[in-house]
Amino acid sequence: MTKAYVALEDGRTIEARSRAPGRTRGELVFTTAYTGYEESLTDPSYEEQILTFSYPLIGNYGVREERFESDRVHPRGVVARDLTEDVAEWLAEEGVPAIDELDTRDLVTGIREEGAMQCGIAAGPDATAADAEAELDACKGMSEHTDIGSQVSIGEPVTYNPDGDGPRVALIDCGAKGSIASSLVERDAVVEKLPYDATVADVESVDPDVLFISNGPGDPENFEAAAALVEEYVGDVPLAGICLGQQVIANALGGQTEKMEFGHRGVNQPVRDLRSNKVVMTTQNHGYTVSEPGDLDVTQINVNDDTPEGLESDEMNVITRQYHPEANPGPHDTLGFFDDVLGMTSARTN
């Protein structure tokens, strides 16, 4: 067995088995999802993080590219109780260090009790505990990654469904999952995906019916360009956001955000709608949350901790969700969000 080591911010260094070699560092987080590992591993919101799977066996239905949410693996490293050969080989090909044969239950319990923590990993034939500890020493906190958007966003605008008859959506790509654009295109919207640092002039050039701020990694306060777009267009163009997008919109409209202790990551997060009192199950992946909604109304909350899951304003034509309504992976309870978004404006004929 080729050894691996993970050094934790709490002072522990744990021995494991190397499944994909390398040295890496990042914020150690966990997901409770037991399916959808391909979608999770290609989710840009995991940039600069080490993803721990709480479910013990990862990879039992192989690896299929059509399930990917982006064109690469985003976590800096992967930790599991047991990784199958398919997943281990995929991660090795992607150059993403991966380790298994360690007590992930203990890791997850530690994160729940002490919060998401920085860590370093060393895996492979020459790996030592000192290598992992050196990676930990070089690890930065998530808020210190001030330009993380540049790591996950497109460089040039991309148009999806250019001949569609629905509304034109300017999707600001702060690390957007592919299924967000797909969900809009399925409803015949024209999706103009723009870089995370798009300017007002960039948005004006596509003349959108809806401005949509995507999910993404890191601290929402570091996405200043997206917040500036919200400030520019609020009240003139309908606004929508998912995950990081909800946080960016709240910050821009007088609210505040804060880092969570260990975040919400998984496919079984219960959300209650305050108007209907209906509870739905949702897919989530975020480490920050809205602490003050500002000029927006809280319309949905997380059943477990009462954090805001939905913000709206009929007056300003704003609707956001903290969870992922596109449900890749996860339950399909909330797909109607995209109908609500497109319903904020009349269809546009191209």
Confidence (pLDDT) at 346: 62
Q: Mind listing the pLDDT tens digit of every residue in the chain (350 residues)? A: 799 999 999 999 999 999 999 999 999 999 999 899 999 999 999 999 999 999 999 999 999 999 999 999 999 999 999 999 999 999 999 999 999 999 999 999 999 999 999 999 999 999 999 999 999 999 999 999 999 999 999 999 999 999 999 999 999 999 999 999 999 999 999 999 999 999 999 999 999 999 999 999 999 999 999 999 999 999 999 999 999 999 999 999 999 999 999 999 999 999 999 999 999 999 999 999 999 999 999 999 999 999 999 999 999 999 999 999 987 776 777 889 999 999 998 634 44
Token reading at 256: 């505040």
Cβ neighbours of residue 2 closer than 8 Å, sequence gap 6 or more: 17, 18, 21, 123, 124, 125, 127
Rg over alpha carbons for the chain, rounded to the nearest Å, is: 20
Within a 10 A sphere around the Cβ of 252, how many other Cβ atoms? 25
Can you give the pTM of this predicted structure?
0.96
Catalytic residue among 243, 264, 309, 312: 243
Sheet with 318-321: strands ordered across? 158-160, 190-195, 168-173, 210-213, 239-242, 318-321, 308-313, 297-302, 256-273, 279-292
Tell me, yes or no, if 89 is annotated catalytic. Answer: no
Closest CA to 349 of 127, 165, 91: 165
Interatomic CA distance for residues 87 and 79, integer angstroms: 12
DSSP 226-274: HHHHHHHHTTTS-EEEETHHHHHHHHHTT-EEEEEEEEEEEEEEEEEET
Tokens found for residue 24: 């890496």
pLDDT of residue 347: 39
SS3 6: strand
The active-site residue, picked from 38, 309, 312, 326, is 326
The DSSP bridge partners found for residue 235 are none
Q: What's the pLDDT score for residue 94? A: 98
| Sign of CA pseudo-dihedral 43, 49, 55, 57 | positive
* Cβ-contact 117, 143 below 8 angstroms: no
Q: Which is it for strands 13-20 and 98-100: parallel, antiparallel or unpaired?
A: antiparallel
First to last CA, the chain: 60
Among 74, 145, 286, 324, the one annotated catalytic: 324
